[in-house]
Amino acid sequence: MSDLIGYAKNELYLLRDGEEDEMQDLVEKNILELIEVFSKQGHSGFSGNYVLSIFDRLVRYLPITPLTGDDDEWNKCFSKSNFFQNKRCSRVFKDSDGPYDSCVRTFSDDSGETFYQSRDSRESIEFPYYPPTYPKQIILENRELEDYEDD
């Protein structure tokens, strides 16, 4: 057993805090399978980080090279004549106002316990565009959720 597999098993054990959970058993099995494959590949620090960064983007359905904005990257959405979704990154759209990423920001109104998206999550973009892996997390203070949803 590699050090990585042992480390992962210990961390997953600590996550449980002594609790039995059938769903967690399945998730841990899946995680350990991925770690075993990664461990067998024998990566150095450099190649391991490179593989993880590419893998992370691909499993999130994010492109690993910048979007070009070329016509062949778009699908027409619904029956609207000027509303398109990017084929390579489903959170990128364009309409008569131009292209935008619909998930650049997420918001929390409970001190970071949970996050949500709204119309304010979007941001206009220019091509070439490399979508960020994670949205900016913004914690709202002194603002009621109802007020925010009406924006």
The mean pLDDT of the chain is 91
pLDDT tens across 29-73, in order? 999 999 999 999 999 889 999 999 999 999 999 999 999 999 999
The DSSP symbol for 33 reads H
Residue 59 host element (H or E):
helix 45-59
pLDDT at 145: 47
Give me the pLDDT at residue 100, please. 98
- C-alpha to C-alpha distance for 124 and 103, rounded to whole angstroms: 11
Taking residues 18-22, what's their average pLDDT? 85
Task: Report which of residues 78 and 130 the model is more confident about.
Answer: 130
* DSSP symbol at 62: -
User: Where do the structural domains in the chain lie, given as residue ranges?
Assistant: 3-59, 71-149
- Which tens digits make up the pLDDT trace of 85-102? 999 999 999 999 999 999
Count of C-beta atoms within a 10 Å radius of residue 122: 17
Specify the pLDDT at position 2.
67
Does 137 score more than 70 pLDDT?
Answer: yes
Percentage of the chain modeled with pLDDT above 70:
91
- Find tokens 């004549």 and name the residue: 81
Dihedral angle over CA of 36, 37, 38, 43, nearest 10: 110
pLDDT band at 143 (very low <50, low <70, confident <90, very high): low
